[in-house]
Structure 1
Amino acid sequence: MNRSEKAALQLRAVDVLRTLKETRTYEELAAETGLPAGDLNRYVNGHVLPSEARAREVVGGVGSELLAEELDARIVVDDEGYVDNSRVVFDQSLLSLVPPVAAETLGIEPPDAVLTAATDGITLAAAMARYFGSRCAYAKKSRETAVEEFIEARQRLSSGIEIDYYLPANAIASGESVLVVDDLIRSGETQELLLDIAASAGADVAGVFALIAVGDEGIDRARAHTDAPVGALVTRE
Protein backbone atom coordinates (compact mmCIF):
# COMPACT_ATOMS: atom_id res chain seq x y z
CA MET A 1 0.00 0.00 0.00
CA ASN A 2 1.48 3.37 -1.03
CA ARG A 3 1.29 6.54 1.03
CA SER A 4 -1.81 7.98 -0.64
CA GLU A 5 -3.70 4.67 -0.35
CA LYS A 6 -2.77 4.45 3.33
CA ALA A 7 -3.97 8.02 3.96
CA ALA A 8 -7.25 7.33 2.15
CA LEU A 9 -7.81 4.22 4.27
CA GLN A 10 -7.08 6.13 7.48
CA LEU A 11 -9.42 8.97 6.57
CA ARG A 12 -12.17 6.54 5.61
CA ALA A 13 -11.80 4.83 9.00
CA VAL A 14 -12.26 8.21 10.67
CA ASP A 15 -15.41 8.80 8.61
CA VAL A 16 -16.79 5.43 9.74
CA LEU A 17 -16.05 6.21 13.39
CA ARG A 18 -17.60 9.67 13.16
CA THR A 19 -20.82 8.25 11.73
CA LEU A 20 -21.00 5.55 14.39
CA LYS A 21 -20.28 8.14 17.11
CA GLU A 22 -23.45 10.05 16.16
CA THR A 23 -25.57 7.46 17.97
CA ARG A 24 -23.09 6.29 20.64
CA THR A 25 -21.01 7.61 23.51
CA TYR A 26 -17.25 7.11 23.38
CA GLU A 27 -17.57 4.45 26.05
CA GLU A 28 -20.17 2.56 24.01
CA LEU A 29 -18.09 2.88 20.85
CA ALA A 30 -15.02 1.67 22.75
CA ALA A 31 -16.89 -1.38 24.00
CA GLU A 32 -18.07 -2.22 20.48
CA THR A 33 -14.77 -1.62 18.66
CA GLY A 34 -12.32 -2.72 21.33
CA LEU A 35 -10.40 0.56 20.89
CA PRO A 36 -9.66 2.90 23.84
CA ALA A 37 -12.18 5.71 24.30
CA GLY A 38 -9.37 8.27 24.45
CA ASP A 39 -7.98 7.14 21.09
CA LEU A 40 -11.47 7.20 19.56
CA ASN A 41 -11.93 10.77 20.80
CA ARG A 42 -8.70 11.82 19.10
CA TYR A 43 -9.63 10.07 15.85
CA VAL A 44 -13.15 11.48 15.70
CA ASN A 45 -12.00 15.02 16.47
CA GLY A 46 -9.22 14.92 13.89
CA HIS A 47 -6.29 15.22 16.29
CA VAL A 48 -4.59 12.06 15.03
CA LEU A 49 -5.15 9.35 12.40
CA PRO A 50 -5.43 5.66 13.30
CA SER A 51 -2.58 3.38 12.30
CA GLU A 52 -2.92 1.45 9.06
CA ALA A 53 -3.70 -1.75 11.01
CA ARG A 54 -6.38 -0.05 13.10
CA ALA A 55 -7.85 1.70 10.06
CA ARG A 56 -8.14 -1.59 8.21
CA GLU A 57 -9.82 -3.17 11.26
CA VAL A 58 -12.33 -0.33 11.47
CA VAL A 59 -13.16 -0.35 7.76
CA GLY A 60 -13.13 -4.08 7.09
CA GLY A 61 -13.64 -5.63 10.51
CA VAL A 62 -15.60 -4.41 13.50
CA GLY A 63 -16.48 -1.17 11.71
CA SER A 64 -18.08 -3.20 8.95
CA GLU A 65 -20.20 -5.08 11.48
CA LEU A 66 -21.29 -1.87 13.20
CA LEU A 67 -22.08 -0.18 9.87
CA ALA A 68 -24.20 -3.20 8.93
CA GLU A 69 -26.05 -2.84 12.24
CA GLU A 70 -26.60 0.85 11.53
CA LEU A 71 -28.04 0.08 8.10
CA ASP A 72 -30.14 -2.78 9.44
CA ALA A 73 -31.70 -0.47 12.03
CA ARG A 74 -32.86 1.86 9.26
CA ILE A 75 -34.57 -0.83 7.18
CA VAL A 76 -38.30 -1.43 7.56
CA VAL A 77 -40.00 -4.57 6.23
CA ASP A 78 -43.81 -4.62 6.24
CA ASP A 79 -46.11 -7.61 6.76
CA GLU A 80 -46.12 -8.40 3.03
CA GLY A 81 -42.33 -8.45 2.79
CA TYR A 82 -41.84 -5.09 1.07
CA VAL A 83 -38.59 -3.41 2.06
CA ASP A 84 -38.41 0.32 2.79
CA ASN A 85 -34.74 1.34 2.70
CA SER A 86 -35.29 5.01 1.94
CA ARG A 87 -33.51 6.05 5.15
CA VAL A 88 -30.43 4.37 3.70
CA VAL A 89 -30.45 5.15 -0.03
CA PHE A 90 -31.29 8.83 0.54
CA ASP A 91 -28.48 9.37 3.06
CA GLN A 92 -25.36 10.19 1.05
CA SER A 93 -23.17 10.66 4.14
CA LEU A 94 -24.02 7.12 5.22
CA LEU A 95 -23.64 5.66 1.73
CA SER A 96 -20.19 7.23 1.46
CA LEU A 97 -19.03 4.81 4.18
CA VAL A 98 -20.13 1.73 2.25
CA PRO A 99 -17.61 1.58 -0.65
CA PRO A 100 -14.46 0.84 1.39
CA VAL A 101 -16.36 -1.85 3.29
CA ALA A 102 -17.58 -3.32 0.01
CA ALA A 103 -14.04 -3.26 -1.40
CA GLU A 104 -12.71 -5.09 1.67
CA THR A 105 -15.62 -7.56 1.65
CA LEU A 106 -15.24 -8.46 -2.02
CA GLY A 107 -11.46 -8.09 -2.15
CA ILE A 108 -11.58 -6.14 -5.43
CA GLU A 109 -9.46 -3.53 -7.16
CA PRO A 110 -11.05 -0.25 -8.35
CA PRO A 111 -13.23 -1.00 -11.41
CA ASP A 112 -13.42 1.09 -14.55
CA ALA A 113 -17.19 1.46 -14.16
CA VAL A 114 -19.92 0.85 -11.60
CA LEU A 115 -23.11 -0.52 -13.13
CA THR A 116 -26.58 -0.49 -11.59
CA ALA A 117 -30.25 -0.39 -12.54
CA ALA A 118 -32.40 2.72 -12.31
CA THR A 119 -33.57 4.01 -9.99
CA ASP A 120 -32.97 3.00 -6.36
CA GLY A 121 -29.46 1.70 -7.01
CA ILE A 122 -28.22 5.01 -8.43
CA THR A 123 -27.29 6.70 -5.14
CA LEU A 124 -25.23 3.69 -4.05
CA ALA A 125 -23.60 3.40 -7.49
CA ALA A 126 -22.73 7.11 -7.38
CA ALA A 127 -21.10 6.71 -3.96
CA MET A 128 -19.16 3.67 -5.20
CA ALA A 129 -18.02 5.41 -8.38
CA ARG A 130 -16.92 8.49 -6.45
CA TYR A 131 -14.88 6.39 -4.02
CA PHE A 132 -13.19 4.31 -6.74
CA GLY A 133 -12.73 7.20 -9.18
CA SER A 134 -14.80 5.24 -11.71
CA ARG A 135 -17.62 6.03 -14.09
CA CYS A 136 -21.19 5.45 -12.99
CA ALA A 137 -23.50 3.71 -15.50
CA TYR A 138 -27.10 2.70 -15.03
CA ALA A 139 -29.47 0.69 -17.15
CA LYS A 140 -33.07 1.81 -17.61
CA LYS A 141 -36.30 0.10 -18.55
CA SER A 142 -36.81 2.47 -21.47
CA ARG A 143 -34.70 3.78 -24.31
CA GLU A 144 -33.42 7.34 -24.12
CA THR A 145 -34.58 9.32 -27.13
CA ALA A 146 -31.26 10.95 -27.99
CA VAL A 147 -29.23 7.73 -27.78
CA GLU A 148 -28.90 5.70 -30.98
CA GLU A 149 -27.21 2.47 -29.83
CA PHE A 150 -28.02 0.40 -26.77
CA ILE A 151 -26.98 -2.79 -25.06
CA GLU A 152 -30.21 -4.62 -24.26
CA ALA A 153 -30.97 -7.42 -21.82
CA ARG A 154 -34.32 -9.18 -21.45
CA GLN A 155 -35.59 -11.29 -18.60
CA ARG A 156 -38.80 -13.26 -18.17
CA LEU A 157 -39.81 -13.00 -14.51
CA SER A 158 -41.30 -15.84 -12.51
CA SER A 159 -44.65 -14.06 -12.87
CA GLY A 160 -44.37 -14.46 -16.65
CA ILE A 161 -43.81 -10.75 -17.26
CA GLU A 162 -40.90 -9.80 -19.50
CA ILE A 163 -38.74 -6.82 -18.62
CA ASP A 164 -36.06 -5.12 -20.69
CA TYR A 165 -33.13 -3.02 -19.56
CA TYR A 166 -31.23 -0.69 -21.85
CA LEU A 167 -27.76 0.78 -21.43
CA PRO A 168 -26.20 3.25 -23.90
CA ALA A 169 -23.64 1.28 -25.92
CA ASN A 170 -20.85 3.75 -25.13
CA ALA A 171 -21.32 3.50 -21.34
CA ILE A 172 -19.06 0.44 -20.99
CA ALA A 173 -16.24 -0.58 -23.30
CA SER A 174 -15.02 -4.07 -24.11
CA GLY A 175 -12.29 -5.23 -21.74
CA GLU A 176 -13.18 -2.80 -18.98
CA SER A 177 -13.79 -4.02 -15.44
CA VAL A 178 -17.30 -3.49 -14.08
CA LEU A 179 -18.66 -3.65 -10.54
CA VAL A 180 -22.39 -4.48 -10.48
CA VAL A 181 -24.20 -2.90 -7.52
CA ASP A 182 -27.77 -2.46 -6.32
CA ASP A 183 -29.52 -1.37 -3.17
CA LEU A 184 -31.45 -4.64 -2.84
CA ILE A 185 -31.07 -8.21 -4.05
CA ARG A 186 -33.99 -10.59 -3.60
CA SER A 187 -34.61 -12.89 -6.57
CA GLY A 188 -31.40 -11.96 -8.38
CA GLU A 189 -33.29 -11.23 -11.61
CA THR A 190 -32.09 -7.63 -11.86
CA GLN A 191 -28.50 -8.62 -11.11
CA GLU A 192 -28.67 -11.29 -13.81
CA LEU A 193 -29.84 -8.68 -16.30
CA LEU A 194 -26.98 -6.38 -15.36
CA LEU A 195 -24.50 -9.25 -15.68
CA ASP A 196 -25.94 -10.02 -19.12
CA ILE A 197 -25.40 -6.39 -20.12
CA ALA A 198 -21.80 -6.52 -18.91
CA ALA A 199 -21.24 -9.73 -20.88
CA SER A 200 -22.78 -8.23 -24.03
CA ALA A 201 -20.44 -5.26 -23.68
CA GLY A 202 -17.45 -7.61 -23.43
CA ALA A 203 -16.62 -6.26 -19.98
CA ASP A 204 -14.98 -8.15 -17.12
CA VAL A 205 -17.12 -8.36 -13.97
CA ALA A 206 -15.10 -7.36 -10.89
CA GLY A 207 -17.86 -8.25 -8.44
CA VAL A 208 -21.53 -8.00 -7.48
CA PHE A 209 -22.52 -6.08 -4.36
CA ALA A 210 -25.83 -5.16 -2.71
CA LEU A 211 -26.63 -3.18 0.40
CA ILE A 212 -29.36 -5.61 1.42
CA ALA A 213 -29.92 -9.26 0.55
CA VAL A 214 -33.38 -10.66 1.28
CA GLY A 215 -32.91 -14.41 1.62
CA ASP A 216 -30.31 -16.45 -0.27
CA GLU A 217 -31.99 -16.82 -3.66
CA GLY A 218 -30.61 -13.65 -5.21
CA ILE A 219 -27.07 -14.15 -3.94
CA ASP A 220 -27.05 -17.77 -5.13
CA ARG A 221 -28.42 -16.77 -8.54
CA ALA A 222 -25.77 -14.09 -9.01
CA ARG A 223 -23.02 -16.51 -7.99
CA ALA A 224 -24.28 -19.02 -10.53
CA HIS A 225 -24.05 -16.33 -13.21
CA THR A 226 -20.50 -15.10 -12.55
CA ASP A 227 -17.18 -16.26 -11.16
CA ALA A 228 -16.62 -12.85 -9.59
CA PRO A 229 -17.14 -12.33 -5.84
CA VAL A 230 -20.72 -11.65 -4.75
CA GLY A 231 -21.72 -10.12 -1.40
CA ALA A 232 -24.14 -7.98 0.57
CA LEU A 233 -23.67 -5.79 3.61
CA VAL A 234 -26.94 -6.72 5.34
CA THR A 235 -28.91 -9.96 5.07
CA ARG A 236 -32.59 -10.24 5.93
CA GLU A 237 -34.66 -13.44 5.85
Structure 2
Amino acid sequence: MNRAEKAALQLQAVAVLRMLKETRTYDELSSVTGLPAGDLNRYVNGHVLPGSERAREVVEGVGRDALSSELEARVRFDDEGYVDNSGVVFDQSFLDLVAPVAANSFGFERPDVILTAATDGITLGAAMARYFDARLAYAKKSKETAVEEFIESRQRLASGIELTYYLPASALSSGQRVLVVDDLIRSGETQELLLDIAKQADTTVTGVFALIGVSDKGLGRARELTDAPVGALTTLD
Protein backbone atom coordinates (compact mmCIF):
# COMPACT_ATOMS: atom_id res chain seq x y z
CA MET A 1 0.00 0.00 0.00
CA ASN A 2 1.51 3.34 -1.04
CA ARG A 3 1.07 6.57 0.90
CA ALA A 4 -1.85 7.79 -1.21
CA GLU A 5 -3.74 4.50 -0.80
CA LYS A 6 -3.06 4.53 2.95
CA ALA A 7 -4.37 8.08 3.30
CA ALA A 8 -7.48 7.24 1.27
CA LEU A 9 -8.19 4.21 3.47
CA GLN A 10 -7.77 6.27 6.65
CA LEU A 11 -10.15 8.96 5.39
CA GLN A 12 -12.71 6.33 4.36
CA ALA A 13 -12.61 4.89 7.87
CA VAL A 14 -13.19 8.34 9.36
CA ALA A 15 -16.15 8.87 7.01
CA VAL A 16 -17.71 5.59 8.15
CA LEU A 17 -17.18 6.47 11.82
CA ARG A 18 -18.73 9.91 11.35
CA MET A 19 -21.80 8.36 9.75
CA LEU A 20 -22.16 5.94 12.67
CA LYS A 21 -21.69 8.75 15.18
CA GLU A 22 -24.71 10.62 13.81
CA THR A 23 -27.04 8.21 15.64
CA ARG A 24 -24.80 7.00 18.49
CA THR A 25 -22.95 8.23 21.54
CA TYR A 26 -19.21 7.59 21.72
CA ASP A 27 -19.82 4.79 24.22
CA GLU A 28 -22.32 3.16 21.85
CA LEU A 29 -19.90 3.63 18.97
CA SER A 30 -17.18 2.03 21.07
CA SER A 31 -19.44 -0.97 21.66
CA VAL A 32 -20.04 -1.34 17.92
CA THR A 33 -16.43 -0.93 16.84
CA GLY A 34 -14.50 -2.31 19.78
CA LEU A 35 -12.37 0.85 19.77
CA PRO A 36 -11.83 3.15 22.79
CA ALA A 37 -14.28 6.05 23.03
CA GLY A 38 -11.41 8.51 23.43
CA ASP A 39 -9.78 7.34 20.20
CA LEU A 40 -13.10 7.50 18.36
CA ASN A 41 -13.58 11.09 19.54
CA ARG A 42 -10.23 12.07 18.08
CA TYR A 43 -10.91 10.29 14.78
CA VAL A 44 -14.41 11.72 14.32
CA ASN A 45 -13.30 15.27 15.15
CA GLY A 46 -10.33 15.10 12.83
CA HIS A 47 -7.60 15.43 15.45
CA VAL A 48 -5.83 12.25 14.33
CA LEU A 49 -6.25 9.54 11.69
CA PRO A 50 -6.54 5.85 12.57
CA GLY A 51 -3.57 3.65 11.66
CA SER A 52 -3.82 1.73 8.41
CA GLU A 53 -4.67 -1.63 10.04
CA ARG A 54 -7.30 -0.10 12.30
CA ALA A 55 -8.71 1.83 9.33
CA ARG A 56 -8.97 -1.38 7.32
CA GLU A 57 -10.81 -3.11 10.17
CA VAL A 58 -13.33 -0.27 10.27
CA VAL A 59 -13.90 -0.20 6.51
CA GLU A 60 -14.03 -3.96 5.98
CA GLY A 61 -15.81 -5.01 9.16
CA VAL A 62 -17.71 -2.31 10.98
CA GLY A 63 -18.31 -0.36 7.79
CA ARG A 64 -20.06 -3.16 5.95
CA ASP A 65 -22.29 -4.09 8.87
CA ALA A 66 -23.18 -0.45 9.56
CA LEU A 67 -23.89 0.41 5.94
CA SER A 68 -25.97 -2.74 5.51
CA SER A 69 -28.08 -1.80 8.52
CA GLU A 70 -28.44 1.78 7.28
CA LEU A 71 -29.45 0.51 3.84
CA GLU A 72 -32.10 -1.81 5.26
CA ALA A 73 -33.53 1.06 7.33
CA ARG A 74 -33.95 3.17 4.19
CA VAL A 75 -35.60 0.53 1.98
CA ARG A 76 -39.37 0.39 1.65
CA PHE A 77 -41.66 -2.29 0.17
CA ASP A 78 -45.07 -1.73 -1.38
CA ASP A 79 -48.06 -4.06 -1.00
CA GLU A 80 -46.91 -6.16 -3.96
CA GLY A 81 -43.39 -6.61 -2.62
CA TYR A 82 -41.63 -4.18 -4.95
CA VAL A 83 -38.61 -2.38 -3.52
CA ASP A 84 -38.41 1.39 -3.14
CA ASN A 85 -34.73 2.20 -2.69
CA SER A 86 -34.91 5.87 -3.67
CA GLY A 87 -33.73 6.78 -0.18
CA VAL A 88 -30.43 5.17 -1.10
CA VAL A 89 -29.83 5.67 -4.82
CA PHE A 90 -30.50 9.41 -4.52
CA ASP A 91 -28.00 9.83 -1.65
CA GLN A 92 -24.62 10.19 -3.33
CA SER A 93 -22.73 10.73 -0.06
CA PHE A 94 -24.01 7.38 1.24
CA LEU A 95 -23.04 5.63 -1.99
CA ASP A 96 -19.57 7.16 -1.77
CA LEU A 97 -19.16 5.31 1.54
CA VAL A 98 -20.44 2.07 0.01
CA ALA A 99 -17.81 1.99 -2.73
CA PRO A 100 -14.67 1.43 -0.62
CA VAL A 101 -16.50 -0.93 1.74
CA ALA A 102 -17.69 -3.04 -1.20
CA ALA A 103 -14.27 -3.04 -2.81
CA ASN A 104 -12.52 -4.18 0.35
CA SER A 105 -15.20 -6.63 1.50
CA PHE A 106 -15.51 -8.57 -1.74
CA GLY A 107 -11.95 -8.23 -3.00
CA PHE A 108 -12.84 -6.88 -6.43
CA GLU A 109 -9.82 -6.48 -8.68
CA ARG A 110 -9.39 -2.87 -9.79
CA PRO A 111 -11.46 -2.41 -12.99
CA ASP A 112 -10.91 -0.15 -15.97
CA VAL A 113 -14.65 0.32 -16.48
CA ILE A 114 -17.72 0.17 -14.24
CA LEU A 115 -20.65 -1.24 -16.24
CA THR A 116 -24.22 -0.71 -15.09
CA ALA A 117 -27.77 -0.30 -16.38
CA ALA A 118 -29.68 2.94 -16.69
CA THR A 119 -31.11 4.46 -14.65
CA ASP A 120 -31.01 3.46 -10.98
CA GLY A 121 -27.57 1.89 -11.26
CA ILE A 122 -25.93 5.10 -12.44
CA THR A 123 -25.43 6.78 -9.06
CA LEU A 124 -23.85 3.66 -7.54
CA GLY A 125 -21.81 3.20 -10.70
CA ALA A 126 -20.53 6.77 -10.41
CA ALA A 127 -19.46 6.20 -6.81
CA MET A 128 -17.64 2.99 -7.70
CA ALA A 129 -15.99 4.65 -10.70
CA ARG A 130 -14.69 7.50 -8.54
CA TYR A 131 -13.30 5.11 -5.97
CA PHE A 132 -11.51 2.92 -8.53
CA ASP A 133 -10.56 5.85 -10.78
CA ALA A 134 -12.33 3.99 -13.58
CA ARG A 135 -14.63 4.96 -16.43
CA LEU A 136 -18.40 4.57 -16.12
CA ALA A 137 -20.46 2.95 -18.88
CA TYR A 138 -24.18 2.29 -18.71
CA ALA A 139 -26.41 0.29 -20.99
CA LYS A 140 -29.86 1.55 -21.95
CA LYS A 141 -33.08 -0.03 -23.16
CA SER A 142 -33.06 2.24 -26.20
CA LYS A 143 -30.50 3.30 -28.78
CA GLU A 144 -28.91 6.74 -28.88
CA THR A 145 -29.81 8.42 -32.15
CA ALA A 146 -26.31 9.67 -33.05
CA VAL A 147 -24.47 6.44 -32.16
CA GLU A 148 -23.78 4.15 -35.10
CA GLU A 149 -22.47 0.97 -33.46
CA PHE A 150 -23.88 -0.80 -30.41
CA ILE A 151 -23.27 -3.92 -28.39
CA GLU A 152 -26.72 -5.44 -28.01
CA SER A 153 -27.91 -8.07 -25.57
CA ARG A 154 -31.42 -9.49 -25.68
CA GLN A 155 -33.35 -11.93 -23.52
CA ARG A 156 -36.92 -13.21 -23.46
CA LEU A 157 -38.23 -13.16 -19.91
CA ALA A 158 -40.44 -15.78 -18.30
CA SER A 159 -43.35 -13.36 -18.68
CA GLY A 160 -42.87 -13.39 -22.46
CA ILE A 161 -41.56 -9.83 -22.55
CA GLU A 162 -38.32 -9.31 -24.44
CA LEU A 163 -35.69 -7.25 -22.61
CA THR A 164 -32.91 -5.63 -24.62
CA TYR A 165 -29.99 -3.48 -23.52
CA TYR A 166 -27.77 -1.40 -25.79
CA LEU A 167 -24.29 -0.07 -25.09
CA PRO A 168 -22.32 2.11 -27.52
CA ALA A 169 -19.57 -0.12 -28.92
CA SER A 170 -16.95 2.53 -28.11
CA ALA A 171 -17.72 2.28 -24.37
CA LEU A 172 -15.75 -0.97 -23.95
CA SER A 173 -12.52 -2.21 -25.48
CA SER A 174 -11.10 -5.71 -25.76
CA GLY A 175 -8.94 -6.69 -22.79
CA GLN A 176 -10.38 -4.15 -20.36
CA ARG A 177 -11.34 -5.19 -16.82
CA VAL A 178 -15.03 -4.61 -16.08
CA LEU A 179 -16.93 -4.50 -12.79
CA VAL A 180 -20.70 -4.96 -13.20
CA VAL A 181 -22.78 -3.06 -10.65
CA ASP A 182 -26.46 -2.31 -10.09
CA ASP A 183 -28.67 -1.02 -7.35
CA LEU A 184 -30.69 -4.25 -7.13
CA ILE A 185 -30.41 -7.92 -8.04
CA ARG A 186 -33.76 -9.72 -8.03
CA SER A 187 -33.93 -12.35 -10.78
CA GLY A 188 -30.45 -11.74 -12.17
CA GLU A 189 -31.80 -11.01 -15.67
CA THR A 190 -30.27 -7.53 -15.91
CA GLN A 191 -26.92 -8.81 -14.65
CA GLU A 192 -27.03 -11.61 -17.23
CA LEU A 193 -27.49 -9.06 -20.01
CA LEU A 194 -24.67 -6.86 -18.69
CA LEU A 195 -22.35 -9.84 -18.39
CA ASP A 196 -23.23 -10.81 -21.95
CA ILE A 197 -22.33 -7.30 -23.13
CA ALA A 198 -18.98 -7.56 -21.31
CA LYS A 199 -18.38 -10.94 -22.97
CA GLN A 200 -19.23 -9.66 -26.44
CA ALA A 201 -16.72 -6.84 -25.95
CA ASP A 202 -14.03 -9.41 -25.06
CA THR A 203 -13.44 -7.91 -21.62
CA THR A 204 -12.53 -9.55 -18.30
CA VAL A 205 -15.18 -9.34 -15.58
CA THR A 206 -13.68 -8.55 -12.16
CA GLY A 207 -16.92 -8.89 -10.21
CA VAL A 208 -20.66 -8.29 -9.89
CA PHE A 209 -21.97 -6.07 -7.10
CA ALA A 210 -25.36 -4.75 -6.03
CA LEU A 211 -26.60 -2.74 -3.11
CA ILE A 212 -29.49 -5.16 -2.51
CA GLY A 213 -29.97 -8.80 -3.32
CA VAL A 214 -33.66 -9.75 -3.17
CA SER A 215 -33.34 -13.41 -2.11
CA ASP A 216 -30.38 -15.43 -3.37
CA LYS A 217 -31.86 -16.23 -6.78
CA GLY A 218 -30.30 -13.38 -8.73
CA LEU A 219 -26.97 -13.64 -6.94
CA GLY A 220 -26.87 -17.35 -7.67
CA ARG A 221 -27.63 -16.74 -11.32
CA ALA A 222 -24.76 -14.26 -11.57
CA ARG A 223 -22.38 -16.72 -9.88
CA GLU A 224 -23.25 -19.31 -12.51
CA LEU A 225 -22.21 -16.88 -15.25
CA THR A 226 -18.85 -15.69 -13.91
CA ASP A 227 -15.97 -16.95 -11.81
CA ALA A 228 -15.38 -13.42 -10.46
CA PRO A 229 -16.62 -12.40 -6.97
CA VAL A 230 -20.37 -11.73 -6.75
CA GLY A 231 -21.99 -10.01 -3.79
CA ALA A 232 -24.55 -7.58 -2.41
CA LEU A 233 -24.24 -5.17 0.48
CA THR A 234 -27.37 -6.67 1.99
CA THR A 235 -29.78 -9.48 1.10
CA LEU A 236 -33.53 -9.19 1.70
CA ASP A 237 -36.10 -11.99 1.59
Structure 1 and Structure 2 fold alike (TM over 0.5): yes
2:96 aligned partner: 96
2:172 aligned partner: 172
SS of the residue corresponding to residue 96 of structure 1 reads helix
Q: Structure 2, unaligned stretches of length 5 or more?
A: none
Q: Is residue 200 of structure 1 aligned with residue 200 of structure 2?
A: yes
SS of the residue corresponding to residue 170 of structure 1 reads helix
Q: Is residue 83 of structure 1 aligned with residue 83 of structure 2?
A: yes
Identity %: 74
Task: Measure, in 2, the Cα distance between the counterparts of 1:168 and 1:24.
Answer: 46
Task: Measure, in 1, the Cα distance between the counterparts of 2:125 and 2:23.
Answer: 26
Amino acid at match of 1:109: E
Task: Measure, in 2, the Cα distance between the counterparts of 1:90 and 1:111.
Answer: 24
Provide, for residues 77-104 of structure 1, a one-character-per-residue CA deviation record: whole Å limited to 9, x for no partner: 1231110111100001100001111111
TM-score, normalization by structure 1: 0.98
2:161 aligned partner: 161
- Map 1:72-151 to 2 at 5 A: 72-151=72-151
Task: Measure, in 2, the Cα distance between the counterparts of 1:25 and 1:76.
Answer: 27
SS of the residue corresponding to residue 152 of structure 2 reads strand
Amino acid at match of 1:158: A
Tell which deviates more after alignment, 26-35 or 146-155.
Answer: 26-35
Task: Measure, in 2, the Cα distance between the counterparts of 1:33 and 1:63.
Answer: 9
RMSD, aligned CA: 0.8
Task: Measure, in 2, the Cα distance between the counterparts of 1:84 and 1:158.
Answer: 23
Task: Measure, in 1, the Cα distance between the counterparts of 2:231 and 2:111.
Answer: 16
1:13 aligned partner: 13
Task: Measure, in 1, the Cα distance between the counterparts of 2:209 and 2:76.
Answer: 20
Q: Is residue 64 of structure 1 aligned with residue 64 of structure 2?
A: yes
TM-score, normalization by structure 2: 0.98
SS of the residue corresponding to residue 170 of structure 2 reads coil
SS of the residue corresponding to residue 97 of structure 1 reads helix
Task: Measure, in 2, the Cα distance between the counterparts of 1:22 and 1:40.
Answer: 13
Once the two structures are TM-superposed, the CA of residue 58 in structure 1 deviates from its matched residue by 0.6
Contact 1:99 1:131 in 2 (8 A): yes
Amino acid at match of 1:2: N
1:219 aligned partner: 219
Contact 1:178 1:207 in 2 (8 A): yes
Amino acid at match of 1:148: E
Once the two structures are TM-superposed, the CA of residue 163 in structure 1 deviates from its matched residue by 1.0
Q: Structure 1, unaligned stretches of length 5 or more?
A: none
Task: Measure, in 2, the Cα distance between the counterparts of 1:192 and 1:25.
Answer: 44
Once the two structures are TM-superposed, the CA of residue 223 in structure 1 deviates from its matched residue by 0.3
SS of the residue corresponding to residue 61 of structure 1 reads helix
SS of the residue corresponding to residue 171 of structure 2 reads coil
Task: Measure, in 2, the Cα distance between the counterparts of 1:103 and 1:126.
Answer: 14
1:40 aligned partner: 40
Once the two structures are TM-superposed, the CA of residue 125 in structure 1 deviates from its matched residue by 0.1
Once the two structures are TM-superposed, the CA of residue 59 in structure 1 deviates from its matched residue by 0.4
Provide, for residues 23-69 of structure 1, a one-character-per-residue CA deviation record: whole Å limited to 9, x for no partner: 22212111111111111111111110001111011100122111111
Amino acid at match of 2:208: V
